[in-house]
Amino acid sequence: MFQLIAFINTALPLGDKLAFQAGAQYLSHKISNVSYESAVVRYAILREDSIVTRTTFSQANYVEFPLLVKYGISPKWNIYAGLRTSLLLGIKANMTEEHYSNGISSSSTPIENTGKFAQFEGLRSVDFGIPLGVEFSLNRYISLSGTFNYGLTDFTRNKNFSNEQRDKHTSAQIYLIFKPF
């Protein structure tokens, strides 16, 4: 899941129906949301059933640079395709740990980390993709646009995964575009 934070782009006309469009956009990408439990069971003199639940949420922040060729199929409709380069800016991970003993929650500890982590050092800082999209102009100043970004590169460097388990930076986005000029 991607959440668009901000974007800016510009178009250079190459004719009546053709244009070159370049831009930059800041995106936040959900890497994982994992929850798992581990149990500790001790039966000596006193009975103790303990369960630890850990929930981890990780998010990566990217800046993307799409380079597109845009073609006007009618006065209101445009299609576009091109190449996208993404740069990894940073990663944020939050972990919550809850301890249960004999069915009663004894503590909940939120742990927040930012920066580089051992489990994320396997991420590539640059990856590439192919954006394909369509744009509909509501009027001179407002347009709706939808884009599908197909990831070309595996953004992980983890060699433990087989070829079938690649993580590609693939997304679908919907924009409401305001054109002040």
Which token pair is 116?
A: 């580089």
Say if pTM beats, i.e. exceeds, 0.75.
no
Q: Return the domain boundaries, the chain.
A: 2-178
Mean pLDDT over each residue of the chain, to the nearest integer:
75
- Chain centroid to CA 82: 19
- Confidence at residue 82, expressed as pLDDT on a 0 to 100 scale: 97
Reference 146, options 120, 170, 123, 176; nearest CA is: 176
- Confidence at residue 175, expressed as pLDDT on a 0 to 100 scale: 85
pLDDT at 67 > cutoff 60: yes
Q: What class, spelled out in words, does domain 2-178 have in CATH? A: mainly beta
pLDDT at 64 > cutoff 70: yes
CA distance 145 to 136: 6
Contacts with 50 (C-beta within 8 Å, 6 or more apart), sequence order:
39, 40, 41, 42, 99, 100, 101
Over residues 110-164, the pLDDT tens digits come to 555 544 444 455 667 888 999 999 999 999 999 999 999 998 987 666 555 444 5
- Confidence at residue 98, expressed as pLDDT on a 0 to 100 scale: 67
pLDDT at 76 > cutoff 80: yes
Over residues 78-122, the pLDDT tens digits come to 999 999 999 888 777 666 666 566 555 555 555 555 444 444 556
CA distance 52 to 40: 8
Average pLDDT estimate for 9-25: 92
Average pLDDT estimate for 5-13: 83
Phi-psi region of 115 (alpha: psi -120 to 50; beta: other; left: phi over 0): left
- Confidence at residue 43, expressed as pLDDT on a 0 to 100 scale: 47
- Confidence at residue 73, expressed as pLDDT on a 0 to 100 scale: 97
Q: Are 59 and 30 in contact (CB under 8 A)?
A: yes
